[in-house]
Amino acid sequence: MSEVQKRIEENYLRAKEAYAEWGIDTDEILEKLERVSISLHCWQGDDVAGFERVSEDLTGGIQVTGNYPGKAKTPQELRADIEKALSLIPGKHRLNLHAIYAETDGEKVERNELQPKHFKNWVEWAKAQGLGLDFNPTFFSHPLSDDGFTLSHSNKEIQKFWIEHGKACRKIGEYFGKELGTPCVTNIWIPDGYKDIPVDRFGPRQRLKEALDEILQEKISPEYNLDAVESKLFGIGSESYVVGSHEFYMGYAVKNNTLLCLDAGHFHPTEVISNKISAMMNFLDEILLHVSRPVRWDSDHVVIFDDELQAIMQEIVRGDFLNRTHIALDFFDASINRIAAWVIGTRNAIKALLKAMLEPVEKLKQYELEGDFTSRLALLEEFKSYPFGAIWDYYCLKQNVPVKEAWLDEVKQYEKEVLSKRE
């Protein structure tokens, strides 16, 4: 055992004793943490480009800034980059795919004609890596979405195209679930909306409801596929009105028993999704989270260890919602090393979850019920400086991934040997 490993284990034992005084078993918590899978988003690796190439520009209010060298341009490159990122993140996780990442062997395949066979390579790779797969229809960056409408389109032929795309994607999700032995979360988000104030707010929402009803009409076993719907407050080009608002999808999810996706960047700047989780859990069996970091708007910055990330994980743990919550990431930054972005964001999400697990939740709830708000506040504040960092370092060591910032050296080496040689 090296001196560094010895010091990490010694620090862990001291921290373990400190938490044990409050009845917190750190060994048990690390075993529980190991069973948590975060769904990494494939689109961080190539700036949401995909392999379809029907549109050179991103549309639907999506914007990626930066031009850091080494972007993945082929499925093989993207999978290699994801493997590298996963090797630096503790635990066993999942991958979240968008429909534009289909592999069609050079054949032009319209989105409404996508089939499971176009994702066979992803499934075989996921099997080899021991990963589950999640999925998303792609309702943007396509000629038939150029006017800003898809499922709520007033043109029946265009709307039909997108309905067929949604149906095709659910079958692909079912395929993932059957092949990999873990349910695929298939999440529907559309960019539909108006730049300026509309006269008819109801019509598009009525069309969206009818389209969703048709897409979800076929029953698919939740053993294989779980349907989710995702709202948004506004987007570039839809500043005044978004058809799929939070209220719309909240009502739809409750009525139709789908998952509701709460994206950290899809609400008013003064709203936070951590404050919505406990409300929705009264009415839904499960929810999907898209953990991101908005800066002034839905800018999808890399997730950092900030107050809202910690609050999200605290709500999941304090409410005992972990088994009912699907945690996915959704950000894309091309101004920094893309693999580093994955590693930073995912490690922070896991770290925040660990910190939440290390709270004396039952004692805090007892203080609250007794009206002892002084003790509640005092204990919450003191636990902010408890040695959870020593627990995290030990977890990384036991998971055979780099401890602290040592992962950065591996990313830099990979950049030198692999990324810098890409055209």
Q: Is 193 helix (H, G, I), strand (E, B) or coil?
A: strand
CB 312 within 8 Å of CB 356: no
Point out the catalytic residue in the list 330, 333, 393, 415.
330
Name the residue among 192, 162, 167, 224 with its Cα closest to residue 61. Answer: 192
Length of the chain measured in residues: 423
Point out the catalytic residue in the list 98, 246, 276, 290.
290
Name the residue among 260, 276, 236, 243 with its Cα closest to residue 151. Answer: 243
Does the annotation mark 290 as catalytic? yes
**Token code pair at residue 83:** 């493997």
**Token code pair at residue 323:** 């088994």
Q: Spell out the residues 6+ positions from residue 42 whose beta carbon is closer than 8 angstroms to its own.
A: 78, 82, 95, 96, 97, 98, 101
Point out the catalytic residue in the list 263, 308, 333, 415.
263
Point out the catalytic residue in the list 46, 227, 230, 359.
230
CB 284 within 8 Å of CB 260: yes
Does the annotation mark 232 as catalytic? yes
Point out the catalytic residue in the list 298, 308, 333, 415.
298
Does the annotation mark 263 as catalytic? yes
Point out the catalytic residue in the list 47, 52, 300, 315.
300
**One-letter amino acid of 366:** Q
Does the annotation mark 246 as catalytic? no
Does the annotation mark 363 as catalytic? no
Does the annotation mark 300 as catalytic? yes
Point out the catalytic residue in the list 118, 165, 266, 355.
266
Point out the catalytic residue in the list 43, 122, 162, 189.
189
Point out the catalytic residue in the list 98, 118, 153, 232.
232
- DSSP secondary structure of 297-312: EEEEEPP-S-HHHHHH
Give the residue ranges of DSSP H helices in 257-357. Answer: 277-280, 307-318, 338-357
**Token code pair at residue 64:** 């990626």
- What are the residue numbers of the active site? 189, 230, 232, 263, 266, 290, 298, 300, 330
